[in-house]
Amino acid sequence: MKLTAVPLLLSRMRADSGSWSELAYKPWPDYEDRRDWEYWDVNWQARRACLLGLQLDRRPDDRDLILYLLDQEICSQEASVSGCGSSLHPAILFAAEFDDPSIAWRIRSAKYANQDTACSIDVQALYCCGVERTLAMLAASDRPESNDFPPAPIQAHVDEWWMRQRSNYPSRWEDEPDKIGTCEEIGDIEAAADYLRQELAETLPTVDAGGAEERDLLVSARRQWGWLGRPDEAAKLQAGIDAFLPEEPWDRASALRDALEVYVAAGQFQEAASKVDPLWAALRQVDSWREVGLGRLSAGAVADLALATPDEAMAVHAFSVLEEMMAGGLKEPPVLREKLATLAERFGRQS
């Protein structure tokens, strides 16, 4: 959805509660095959857009819509087993603003929806309508869940929670702290890309060229381009990041693996191939490389190059490095097994 269409969506939801089914939790039929954990829910993106609209324009008569959105978020999180998503927190905040202590029951359901929500949702949220008022409500209730509430925080900490939430979800788009991520979440990739370019143009000139701050900025932007599905833009930044190769073997191997993955994703196979031997050399200097994730992920990146490149000689060399890794004692992860079998069959080797 385009950012400019968000107010139109909210207006339509306000006008016709029959259209709320478009916001309901609905699992993907092929959920087990999907890798993007936030998108196990068909309508998650529509709810995120509607909540963004409410963030920028909330009214007293939005209560039923907000509670509906919160209930659907709870259903979604309960079904996900893990993860929290980015819609649950604003839904809790907007519901809490109606200043009804009974919202604590819904927030409790949200907090204990899965293992990640239990950690992500602050205990202060349960007492957001006032510590004393919430305790009084719990004391007067015969609901068994009242015994499961964690000890109450002090009111000052609840007040701090309100300040943090309102800072995270400001009522003006100009004050939105993460325009790039928010645009990506609602599906406006073009707007997200524009904001990322703008952020880089404004920020890069303010940092020292060649310093750690510049590297961190480039790495962060490279990651964001990856999330936006723009490997070409990520590869452009990678060319600058390559100049910051660390000396320490673990960090060096990790940086080279990242570069290899970026260049393969962008189809820049010559650049990717130039990282294989330095990566393997750095990896061998890490004593635990055979057992740790760094070794397995590095092998996976080399395998991806061998599978993707149309250059036969390049593929053969990448596979030979993989064979050296396996002969050196790398603990083969299941995700690599199929790739190795495919390559072994291609090159007539034993896998």
Query: Where does the pLDDT of residue 30 fall: very low under 50, low under 70, confident under 90, or very high at 90 and above?
Result: low
Assessment of whether the complete model's pTM goes beyond 0.75: yes
* Most confident of the ranges 38-42, 107-111, 330-334: 107-111
Instruction: Please state which of the ranges 2-16, 125-139, 302-316, 318-332 shows the lowest mean pLDDT.
Output: 318-332
Summarised one tens digit per residue, pLDDT across range 242-265 is: 999 999 999 999 999 999 999 999
CA–CA dist 302, 322 (Å, integer): 7
Backbone torsions φ then ψ of 247, nearest 5 degrees = -90, -35
What pLDDT, on a 0 to 100 scale, did the predictor assign at position 39? 54
DSSP letters for 101-113: TTHHHHHHHHHTS
Backbone torsions φ then ψ of 41, nearest 5 degrees = -115, 120
As a whole number, mean pLDDT of residues 161-190 equals 97
For the cut 50, the answer to whether the pLDDT of residue 37 exceeds it is no
What pLDDT, on a 0 to 100 scale, did the predictor assign at position 148? 87
What pLDDT, on a 0 to 100 scale, did the predictor assign at position 33? 46
